[in-house]
Structure 1
Amino acid sequence: MIHAEYLRFLQTLNEGTVTDDERKLANLIVQNLDDLIPLGTHQGQRIRAVVQLAQNNWNNLSAEIQPLSEDLAVDNSPITQLKSLSVGPFRGFSREEHFDLSSNLVLIYGPNGTGKSSFCEALEYSLLGNVAEAESKRFRDQQRYLRNAYVDSFSAPKLLGLNAEGQEIPVISDDALYRFCFVEKNRIDNFSRIAAQVPAKQTELISTLFGLDSFTEFVRKFTAEIDPRYIDLVGQKATLLAQKRQALDGAKQQLKTNNAELVRISTDEQALASNYREGSDFNQVVLELLGGDESVGLISQIESELQQPLPIKSSLSLAKLDDLGGKVANHLNEVASIRQELASASQQLSYKNLYDAVTQVQQSSPNNCPACKTPLNRVAVNPFIHSSEELKKLQHLAERQQLLQQLEQTTNQELLLLTQIVNTCCSRFYKNVLTYYQVSPNLQENIEWWNRLQQPSQDGYTVWQHLRSQVQQLEGADKEVAQATQLRATKQTELNRLREFSRNITVLQTQRQTASQAIQAAQRTIANFDVENAQLIADVQAEIASIQRNQTISRAYTKLVARLNFYKDALPAQLVADLGEKVVQLYNSFNRNDLPSELLAKVQLPLAQNQRLEISFQNNPDQFYDPLHVLSEGHIRCIGLAILLSKNLKENCPVLIFDDPVNAIDDDHRESIRRTLFEDQYFSEKQIILTCHGEEFFKDIHNLLPAQSAAQSQSLAFLPKLDESHIRVDFNCAPRNYIIAAREHFDRNEVREALSKSRKAMESLTKGKVWRYVSKFGDGNLSLKLRSHNAPIELRNLSEQLKAKIGKANFSDPDKSKIFDPLNSLVGMSGDSREWRYLNKGTHEENDRAEFDRNTVSTIILALESLDQAL
């Protein structure tokens, strides 16, 4: 199916808007169709294969689209009927079997698994050249699917047919001519779900109804365009060269940018020099601040000066020295005065010490005299009380002693400060006269040391005078250090200012160096580009042809896939175009017993994307409905079958082949479908080949047909397999038509069996054909009596009422005697007629009954044959 449909698609590429490149690619695909069909979109399998095939074969591909094979010679003209089929080894046939198909009606019965599908696949392969089931099961090699597994062999079936002149010719497979000859159960099953699908899915199921689902799936696996991952549309060398040219353009831009940068830097350099000193040049400022080979810069010079250490201050002051000396002299005088006062009161001090001692021992001996241990109650004077009273009298002496201690401590501290001043002077002046008056850390200064400072030295000056002179000198030196410190801070501020200029100079120099280096690099890149990339430039020229070919392939692929998808989407509309009226006729024929409100007036088939299947009924033809909402699944299946049969009629297909499709229809519609096929005139001129697995359906078809037509039909029975693996076929199966069976039994002198079949024939004719005949020309309303609510209609009662209706004077058929006479012969004047008793006795078991009269039986069979022929 995929091959045939793709070949039909190729014929649409002969219009003027299609380029030769698209045709070349289309021919490439058809040449490799078997390899491409199983490939999908996963990891780009199909597109990779297409690209590789196109690149390897592009220059050798033809742009000419070959016509379809229907341009055949005169002796290969289409057939009007199938004649015979020889098949095997093929699928279930392990050896060759020959089927006579010369009848206009070929009926095949067999349970599931007996080989009916293998028979139909042989017809499909012979007529179409492929088997759709093999494609749906992804068999790349159909012969592997069609070979018989038991003998591991395959032989193409041989199908013969009759042409318009009645000549027997081999049938040449042609999908375009014969694809609508087949009606399959699975397609009707899928169609029954069409209304339950989204609108976009419905047109796909129309394709499925006609067996195009494999072609639809095949088209879907073509990506819309070729991904650059799978084809080089630019050129690897060209891409590399373009990247290098981008670098070259970058170099040119760098050259331009950095030249402008140098201009900016020069402007900033002059602004910096002017900011340093008006009228200065940048290079002069750099030389002045940073120095050169022969000169030291101002910054280095100041840094060197600031690195020189400043003298340490002595922090001595002549005024402080004189103040300290005065304090020491005064304090020493006070100490001497107090000591003298205390010496004059030495006796009193002795008593004071005594009284202090007595007071201190009071706690240890509170009840006895501390001197004689006499109890206090015996002494004349309490020593503790007496001591306390006397100490109060001597309190001023204690105060003078405390003052003396404080003065001595203060004087010692002052003398210590003085010794530190002496030490400081000795550390600052070498060969110092004061060196002899230094006090060691382990020696304590005293009044004698102070007195020595007041004595004159050898030069006539006192030591104190020398000390005063040196302190005065150190005080002056401290002033000089303070001035130097202030000057140092000024220099540090200036250095910080100059360093900021230096930093800006460094920034500008770095920027100038960077820009200059970038300019040099860009100039080298520009100057050396053609030389360094000479081979690459040559390679780019060499791959131009290949890239142009790839671009051509890519453009052709995109356009071709778009056309292929458009063709695929348009197929449903093409398949069902102008079928609406015939679909309505057939559907109503399938449902002939329904009320007018249930019969169709119109059907709108989905002809484009996003359209839905819609129907209207005869009672309101302008109101359309979704079949899902108003029809049962069985009725939807009837629409699917009607579409397939309408397509078969429109295409004037010579044969209608059913592979068990009617069993996809519910029981309520089977009789009407049989009547549509075999009673109505739609298919009267068409050969019908029908397979079914239901014996009752098989029997009903035989009895629906006139006995003469049933006798002329070809009936086959596929039998269950025994031990062998070959399909078993009964080419002479027993007739299912009751009249034919009765005649055959009678001819073999099986009189009782002939009567049994005659009784069944009588039931079939009266309940089916005679009753419809009466309803057509007269009053078909009967009053029937039943023995119980579930009892069948009694044949005698039915037959008599039908005969009575036909015998009425107002019955409108002028040739009613052809029906009335044989019916009257069978029924007789009463239930005791010989003919009727024979019909009944032939169906019941009795012992020791009299033999049946052959003449009576012959009369019954002749009457049934006449009745059947007349109807």
Structure 2
Amino acid sequence: MLRAEFLRFLQTLNTVGIPNEVRKIANLVLANLDAIEPLGTNQGQRVKRVVALAQTNWDSLSSEIQPLPEQNTELVSSISRLKSLSVGPFRGFSRQEDFDLDARLVLIYGPNGTGKSSFCEALEYKLLGSVAEAESKRFRNQNEYFKNAHVNDFTMPEVIGVGDQGQEVSIESNEALYRFCFVEKNRIDNFSRIAALAPSRQTELISTLFGLDLFNDFVRNFTAEIDSKYIDLTGIKAAQLKDKRLTLSGANQQLEANNAELQKLVSEEQTLATQYREGITFQQMIIEIKGDEQNNGIIQKLEAELQTPIGNKSSLTYIALQEVSGLIISNLTELNTKQQQLAAVSQQVSFKNLYNAIVQLQPDSPEHCPACHTQLTQTQINPYTHANEELVKLEFLATLQESMSQLEQKIIQLMQTVSQIISTCCHCLPQRNILESYLTPSGGTLWNALQQQLQDGSTPWQHLESQVKLLEESDKKIDETAQIREAKQIALGKLRELDRKIIVLQTRRNTAQQVIESAQQLINSFYTKNMQLIADVALEDAIVRKNCLISGSYSRFVATLNAYKERLPQQLVANLGDNVVTLYNAFNRNDLPREKLSTIKLPLIQNQRLEVSFQNNPEQYFDALHVLSEGHVRCIGLAILLAKNINERCPLLIFDDPVNAIDDDHRESIRRTLFEDVFFAEKQIILACHGEEFFKDIHNLLPAQVAAQSRSFSFLPRLDESHIRVDFNCSPRNYIIAARGHFERNEIREALAKSRQSLESLMKTKVWRYVNRYGDGNLSLKLRSYTSPIELRNLSEQIKKQINKADFSDPNKNEVFSPIDALLGLNGDSREWRYLNKGTHEENDRAEFDRATVSTMISALENLDQAIAG
């Protein structure tokens, strides 16, 4: 199964997009499958083996995927059934045994350990080319598994089939064609344990159900990738060189960074030059601003110009001088006027002074006259009161005197200003300045002196005015020069800022060039010292490239293989849903609608669960593991396998004890599904079981005619011999056939015993069910006591009565009614019927049974069996 499934996987690699190297890895694994499969991930056993094989054989590996050897599951089988099997030596068979399988139904019975599995494995090996049990036990050479231990020999089993035209056909192994013909108990058991697994593992149960658990294990044991622990992906010498190159990492980084810095500087330099003046280069700008050996730059020129002093301003203006002159003249005029006014009232001024003196004496002599010391109470006029009253009258004199005092102060201040102007003129115009003689006088004296006429006919004031005008003009020139100087200073500041930026850029360039030169020297020295190692790395590179190709191809191969494994469940159960539901409901045909399935969702991807809905509410889904018993889960597993067998149109259905994995409640319905329903009517069924009751029930479920045409083998318990013991002519388990055989051998008592069993089986199962289908299955039975069994005659009479009713709906009811009527036509009190009712204990000297009556009974039972089967 493992090899076959891996071969099917290989076919998926023949698609566009799959590199040839991945196909090489796949062919490598296929060629060494037996050696690789037992190895797991522990200590990297498998990946180490793959690496060793790949490195040794890589150049000779083929990238062509060979097609499957005529294995196409879509082809319809060219056989209709198996005819014979010759087996031995093989497993438990120490010598050859020949089995006649030429029947639609082949039944094999035998207790555990009698050799049934050897029989089934012989069919499996011949049809499929391998045996799953041998693979699971990890026999690298399966021939060792097939050898009989006692004769130490093994012969390939021979299977002959019957073709579509009835011709004999030699069966060749074809796993793809026959893989779904086999249904095994262990797979159903594993499926029933689905509840114990995590949801992430439940999808694998679908693969397990189809015998692919070994393939799943095989895929899981591939590590995801081949890392440097198992294969050299970098090169030893390359690693050494890489380690040494680490010493160059700083130099390379510096080289790269500073080359980038130089490129950046070119842009920044040109940007700075453009900011200075459009169309000029950086170097031209430097020469123009800073100069060179022949010429001074603009900065030097401006600095020289700005170092020349521009002189001090006098800050004198003719207008200001005229304002001062006007103020002086007006104040002098006003002062003169007030002096004249004061002179006119000079006597009043004396009285004012007198009155002030009296008022000032009042604090010293408040009670006496200040002049005569007379008591004030004795004077005609109080001198103090009279003085205050007269001072009030003379208050305008105080105001006049105050005003004259203020005018004098203003004149003094104005003359000080004139003196300062004279001083400024003398300072600014020092050479033989006529005004130097007027630096000392002040006040009115200075003013009068300035108005005096000089020998040249002018006055000093006129000289002062002339010099102020001259200095005012000089100040204007100084202002103009200052403005020009300020503009030059601003321009110089800008040029100095440009110069600073130029210096920064030049410094950065010099630094970058120095770093580049130093780094390049270090790199050149490295390559000189490691020239041989670099040459060795170049030679090693081819091996490393191949190793990297192997590693990458392996990772892609493993990923593709895992993806294939994950898709397998979905592929295996595609289009099975309806058939699974139909078969499951057939297995549970006696359940209520709320217990029968409407839909089933199988877990196809990770973390999905097995979900079902029921007929009473098809839209509501349940977790099957929560709502179904283990027996029902087993039924689902069996239904999936059988549905796959139907969908694949397999000609065979081979059971290795699987039905015994089903609980007792479902066995009858499963037998009916297999042998009564139409699902498998055209298939050959080969069934091996270890339960004698199950073996017997199958025989009696079948019509006697069909059972007679089947093949039955009984595997017997081993005695002392090493060979499997087979009873090729085992006694029939079908009661009617057994009854007829005993009758023909004149074993009347035994014939009657089998007839009783046959009648009980027919009436309680087939006929009663038939009545229930076409009429009223509710019978009224009389029992002798609560412990008494149902008497078959009473049961038969009740069934006959129901069939004979006019409303019984089966138009062919007479075919069933007549045999029952014939049976009941016999005397119910006869010893034969008493035997049929309850059997007979062992008695001595008992009268003989009537042969003719027993013959009539057997014939009636045969007719009834045939009628109910039709």
Q: TM-score, normalised by structure 2?
A: 0.67
Q: Does residue 870 of structure 1 match 2:867?
A: yes
Q: C-alpha distance in 2, partners of 1:93/1:521?
A: 88
Q: Does structure 2 conserve the Cα–Cα contact (< 8 Å) formed by 1:13 and 1:65? A: yes
Q: Specify whether residues 234 and 778 from structure 1 end up closer, same or farther in structure 2 by C-alpha distance, changes over 3 A only.
A: same
- Give 2:102's aligned residue: 102
Equivalent residues of 2:77, 2:651 under 8 A apart: no
Q: Distance in 1 between matches of 2:749 and 2:123?
A: 41
Contact 1:88 / 1:95 at 8 angstroms: preserved in 2? Answer: yes
Aligned to 1:160: 160
Give the structure 2 partner of residue 855 of structure 1: 852
**CA RMSD after TM alignment:** 2.6
Q: Do the aligned partners of 2:832 and 2:849 also contact (CA within 8 Å) in 1?
A: no
Tell me if the contact between 1:825 and 1:835 (Cα under 8 Å) persists in the aligned partners: no
Q: Secondary structure at the match of 2:91?
A: coil
- Do structure 1's residue 783 and structure 2's residue 784 form an aligned pair? no
Residue 116 of structure 1: aligned partner: 116
Shift of 1:608: 1.4
CA distance in 1, matches of 2:746, 2:826: 28
Quote the residue 1:453 is aligned against.
none
- Residues 835 and 860, structure 1, Cα contact 8 Å, conserved in 2: no
Partners of 1:636 and 1:527 in 2: how far apart? 76
Match 1:692 to one of 689, 696, 714: 689
TM-superposed deviation, 1:251: 6.9
Cα offsets for 1:193-239 (capped at 9, x unmatched):
22343221110111111111110010000111111111111111222
**Alignment gaps of 5+ in structure 1:** 258-517
8 Å CA contact 1:196–1:628 kept in 2: the answer is: no
Q: What CA distance in whole angstroms lies between the structure 2 residues aligned with 1:841 and 1:761?
A: 13
Residues 591-632 of structure 1: CA deviation (Å, up to 9, x unaligned): 111111111111111121111101111111111111222111
SS at match of 2:679: coil
Question: Which range moved further: 183-192 or 850-859?
Answer: 850-859
Alignment of 1:206-285 (within 5 A): 206-248=206-248
In structure 2, the residue matched to 1:827 is 824
Contact 2:87–2:158 (8 Å) recurs in 1: yes
In structure 1, what residue type is equivalent to 2:173? S
Q: 1:93-142: per-residue Cα shift (whole Å, max 9, x none)?
A: 11111111111101000011111111111111111111111222222222
In structure 1, the residue matched to 2:283 is: none
Residue in structure 2 matched with residue 537 of structure 1 by the alignment: 534
Question: 2:422 aligns to what?
Answer: none
Task: Say whether the 8 Å CA contact 1:583–1:642 is kept in structure 2.
Answer: yes
**Residues 742, 758 of structure 1: 8 Å contact kept:** yes
d(CA) in 1 for partners of 2:141 and 2:751?
Answer: 53
Following superposition, the deviation at residue 249 of structure 1 comes to: 5.0
CA contact under 8 A between 1:752 and 1:842: conserved in structure 2?
no
Name which of 632, 635, 639 aligns with 2:632: 635
Provide the secondary structure at the position in 2 that maps to 1:86: strand
Separation in structure 1 between the aligned mates of residue 516 and residue 192 of structure 2, nearest angstrom: 79
8 A contact 1:755–1:843 mirrored in 2: no
CA–CA separation in structure 1 for the residues paired with 2:608 and 2:116: 37
In structure 2, distance between residues paired with 1:105 and 1:170:
20
Alpha-carbon offset, residue 843 of structure 1: 4.0
Equivalent position SS for 2:621? strand
Change (3 A) 1:861 1:538: same
1:14 match: secondary structure: coil
- Deviation readout 1:770-828 (Å, 9 max, x if unpaired): 10111111111112233454543221211110111112222222222211111111122
Contact 1:199-1:611 at 8 Å conserved across structures = yes
1:2 maps to: 2
Native 8 Å contact 2:712 2:730 kept in 1: yes
- What amino acid is aligned across from residue 23 of structure 2 in structure 1? R
Structure 2: tracts of 5 or more residues without a match = 258-514
Deviations 1:463-510 (A, max 9, x none): xxxxxxxxxxxxxxxxxxxxxxxxxxxxxxxxxxxxxxxxxxxxxxxx
Aligned to 1:205: 205
Residues 538/618 of structure 1: CA separation in 2 closer, same or farther (3 Å cut): same
In structure 2, the residue matched to 1:35 is 35
Q: Which amino acid aligns with 2:752?
A: L
Shift, 1:519, TM fit: 14
How do 1:223-622 residues align onto structure 2 when only pairs under 5 Å count?
Answer: 223-248=223-248, 529-530=526-527, 532-622=529-619
Residue 83 of structure 2 is matched in structure 1 by 83
| Aligned CA distance change for structure 1 residues 143 and 791 (closer, same or farther; 3 Å) | farther
Report the CA distance shift for 1:15/1:150 in structure 2 as closer, same or farther (over 3 A): same
What is the rounded CA distance, in whole Å, between the counterparts of 2:578 and 2:622 in structure 1? 17
- Kept after mapping to 1: 8 A contact 2:752/2:836: yes
Equivalents in 1 of 2:619, 2:803: separation in Å? 41
8 Å CA contact retained: 1:89, 1:155: yes
Question: Contact 2:227–2:551 (CA<8 Å) still a contact in 1?
Answer: no
Q: Which amino acid aligns with 2:711?
A: Q
Q: Does 1:661 find its partner at 2:658?
A: yes
Residue 37 of structure 1 deviates from its aligned partner by 0.4
- 2:473 alignment partner in structure 1: none
Determine if contact 2:129/2:174 at 8 Å carries over to the other structure. yes
Give the direction of change, closer, same or farther, for the CA distance of 1:28–1:788 in structure 2 (3 Å limit): farther
Match of 1:378 in 2: none
In 1, Cα distance between equivalents of 2:658 and 2:101: 20
Alignment correspondent of 1:491: none
* Aligned residues of 1:827 and 1:833 also touching (Cα < 8 A): no
1:709 CA drift (Å)? 0.5
Instruction: Please list the CA deviations of residues 409-462 of structure 1 after superposition, one character each: whole Å capped at 9, or x if unmatched.
Output: xxxxxxxxxxxxxxxxxxxxxxxxxxxxxxxxxxxxxxxxxxxxxxxxxxxxxx
Q: Distance in 2 between matches of 1:660 and 1:178?
A: 18
Q: CA deviation at 1:175?
A: 1.7
**Equivalent residue letter for 1:178:** Y
In 2, are the aligned partners of 1:195 and 1:627 still within 8 Å (CA)? no
Confirm or deny: 8 A CA contact 2:793 2:837 kept in the other structure: no
The 3-state SS of whatever aligns with 1:193 is: helix
Residue 718 of structure 1, aligned match among 715, 720, 726: 715
Aligned to 2:177: 177
Give TM-score scaled by structure 1 length.
0.67
Residue 16 (structure 2) aligns with: 16
Does the residue aligned with 1:729 lie in a helix, a strand or coil? Answer: strand
Which whole-Å CA distance do the structure 2 matches of 1:112 and 1:566 have between them? 40
Shift of 1:525: 6.9
Which amino acid is 1:570 matched to? R
Following superposition, the deviation at residue 163 of structure 1 comes to 2.3
Q: 1:76 to 1:770 in 2, by over 3 A?
A: closer
Distance 1:680 1:87 in 2: 33
State the Cα deviation string for residues 726-772 of structure 1 (Å, max 9, x = none).
11110110000011011111111112111111111111111111101
- Report the counterpart of residue 493 of structure 2 in structure 1: none
> Is the contact made by 2:76 and 2:649 (CA closer than 8 Å) also made in structure 1?
no
Q: Which of 696, 699, 702 is residue 705 of structure 1 equivalent to?
A: 702
What percentage of aligned pairs have identical amino acids?
69
> CA separation of 1:751/1:256 partners in 2, compared to 1, >3 Å: closer, same or farther?
closer
* CA distance in structure 1 between the aligned counterparts of 2:125 and 2:749, rounded to whole angstroms: 46
Contact 1:107–1:691 under 8 Å retained in 2: yes
Q: 1:70: how far off?
A: 2.2
